[in-house]
Amino acid sequence: MPLEFKTSAALSLGVELELMVLNTHDYNLVRGAPDLLARLEKVELDGEVKPEITESMIEVNSSVNANYDDLRRELKNVRDAIVVAAQRLNVAVAGGGSHPFHKWHERRIYPTERFQRVSALYGYLAKQFTVFGQHIHVGVENGDDAVYLTHHLSRYIPHFIALSASSPFSQGEDTSFETSRLHAVSSFPLSGRMPAVRNWGEFNGYFDEMQHYGIVESMKDFYWDIRPKPEYGTVEIRICDTPLMVETAAQLAAYAQTLSADLLRHRVDRALEPMNRVYGYNRFQACRFGFEGVIVDPEHDRHVRIRDDLIETLERLGPMATRVGSSMALLALAGAAARQANDSRWLRERYMETKSLPDVVRMQAMRWRDERVAA
């Protein structure tokens, strides 16, 4: 049976933010999600806060927003409610793509039917999936637009990786990567990229085949970096680490909205093969080196540093940013790129100061609460 693609308001915005639940002794992960979620059920919120795969995680799902300002305002309100609930339980919450020193074998799968099924299928990979990402949803009018954007946004995936990187530490070690989180995602067999289907009809044919083979049951079984989300009427960008502050999360969503608006307004019938061939290399460069990574731009037959390519793109998008109301967000991202300032750099600087990963996580939690920490 074909997947129905539900129409949504074009360029509407929503985000998901996966967050750490921490004890306030040594700031390790703690099995605090059930109690925290129970308390938050009594609070009236825009969107919702849900469980994630292990009991040391929660997930914020925003409501549908029209623009950057509305999304930023909502995320701040939800953040404040989470902070209050966490303090009453004597736990803390933080952003960041990975916990710097937790041990994956200590995690416990959250007892929902889906998470238990994922655990049974993927074994220890399910617990290693205790990593924390931001997903960005951009509304589109139909499935063909979703397929088009899924392919053409992939050109800009290194930008989102460099801007959002916040997982330099893993299992107590500096990984030397700007983001280590994506290694956990890449372990899953249905990760990577959507195949080179050209429209929603072709996508339905691919999905039917995968379902017929018993490989997938729903779109949730695809762990692609970008995927259509037909039940929401969106394209979902899944590549970002969770930022340390909600303002950055809103800015990243604004960038996705502006890029999508520009790509849909200036459509091109570009061959997918050149970008497909360099996608993995470009993704690695961004994960390993962040803003200093050098990617291949097949369209212009050049190598270009991610920072330079990002700033060039943000400048080009100026008129569209004015149209969709994202100018301030893109200006902030351009400033971060110019300074090579992302959360991974901030975390490493805190470790250089303290020589203590628990102190780093404590300051992550302070930053999430919007308390004053060294910038």
pLDDT for residue 372:
67
Q: Look at residues 163, 197, 205 and name the one whose alpha carbon lies nearest to residue 290.
A: 163
Mean pLDDT, all residues of the chain:
95
Asked whether residue 5 is assigned to any structural domain, the reply reads: no
The whole domain housing 191 covers: 13-368
Asked whether residue 4 is assigned to any structural domain, the reply reads: no
Asked whether residue 190 is assigned to any structural domain, the reply reads: yes
| pLDDT, tens digit, 9 for 90 and up, residues 181-218 | 998 888 888 999 999 999 999 999 999 999 999 999 99
pLDDT for residue 375:
47
pLDDT for residue 2:
78
Instruction: Classify residue 53 by its DSSP letter.
Output: S
Averaged pLDDT in 10-residue chunks for the chain of 375 residues: 89 98 98 97 94 96 98 97 97 98 92 91 89 98 97 97 98 96 89 94 96 93 96 97 98 98 92 90 98 96 97 98 98 98 98 98 97 60
pTM (2 d.p.): 0.97
The residue ranges of DSSP E strands in the chain, in sequence order, are: 13-23, 48-51, 57-61, 91-94, 133-139, 169-170, 173-174, 191-192, 223-224, 226-229, 234-241, 294-297, 302-305
Cα 25 → chain centroid: 28
SS3 category, 117: helix
pLDDT for residue 371:
81
Is the separation of the CB atoms in 250 and 256 below 8 Å?
A: no
Q: How far apart are CA 32 and CA 19, in angstroms?
A: 12
Say how many C-beta atoms besides its own lie within 10 A of residue 66's C-beta: 15
- Residue 134's φ and ψ, nearest 5 degrees, are -110, 130
- Strand partners of residue 48: 61
Cα→Cα distances 335→198, 254, 316, 350, Å = 36, 15, 15, 21
pLDDT for residue 373:
57
Would residue 221 be called left, alpha or beta, if left means φ above 0 and alpha means ψ between -120 and 50 degrees? alpha
Say how many domains are in the chain: 1
| pLDDT, tens digit, 9 for 90 and up, residues 146-176 | 999 999 999 999 999 999 999 999 999 999 9
pLDDT for residue 30:
97
Q: Look at residues 168, 173, 194, 161 and name the one whose alpha carbon lies nearest to residue 293.
A: 161
Q: Look up the CATH number of the domain holding residue 287.
A: 3.30.590.20
Q: Look at residues 146, 133, 160 and name the one whose alpha carbon lies nearest to residue 260.
A: 146
Asked whether residue 2 is assigned to any structural domain, the reply reads: no
Q: Token pair 């600087």 is at which residue?
A: 349
Asked whether residue 7 is assigned to any structural domain, the reply reads: no
What token pair was written down for 310?
């990002």
